[in-house]
Amino acid sequence: MSEARGRVWVKVCGITNREDALTAIEAGADALGFNLWPGSKRHIVLEANSGWMKDLPPGTERIAVLVDAPLTEALRIAADPAIDAVQFHGNESAEYLAEFAESGRRFVVARRVGAGESGELPAEAERILLDANVPGAFGGTGVTVDFQLAAQFVKAHPTARVILAGGLTPENVSQAVATVRPFGVDVASGVERTPRAKDPEKIRAFIEAVS
């Protein structure tokens, strides 16, 4: 639950511009996700956007999404004033996560739910994001996560702050929350007009459905 708002925590991911960021903040988002992985349709360059990102209203967490970035790059990004936390959405090793954890920077670890996935919880993870298992993809696919498998994971890790992602929309997020009982939810494609432009009405409807 969002401690500030007394409901499930909400992250709007794949933000590419200031207007969409402000729309999400005004709608009540607890966090914004900025995809710094060049392979993403929602990729942005931190150096070109950090100015407006730093000037966003306080109180909403700014999370940089990385995929198998070198540790030195992850630490550099985590130290940027425009970033509050890092989300590791690739195949980062336990050793990698342990080294990053030593920096004291906040981070989220993504795990895919589905056939062939162990669903193990990294010991260093403060928060873990569960996403749909789509071979060769690293989030933002629009494929709906298996709610029952996600619910089993949450039950198996009762003290973990689990964030549910994967194909969530204004139409299905209420059911997802009721079934999985996560700490938070993460949405990208479900509130978009295009991969690089959010839909304000969908953002508002999504957060209202969570409340």
> Which residues form the catalytic set?
13, 131
Q: Tell me the CB-side half-sphere exposure of residue 99, using CA atoms within 13 A.
A: 11
Instruction: Give all strands (DSSP E) within the chain, no chain letters.
Output: 9-12, 31-35, 61-66, 85-88, 106-113, 127-132, 161-164, 184-187, 192-194, 197-198
Give CA separation, 187 vs 51, 72, 141, 182, in Å: 24, 28, 11, 14
3-state secondary structure (DSSP) of residue 160: coil
Nearest alpha-carbon partner for 182 in 208, 210, 202: 210
- Which tokens go with 95? 């050793």
Pairing status of strand 31-35 against strand 192-194:
unpaired
- Which tokens go with 29? 């988002």
How many whole angstroms separate alpha carbon 163 and alpha carbon 48?
29
Residues linked to residue 88 through DSSP beta bridges, in sequence order? 66, 109
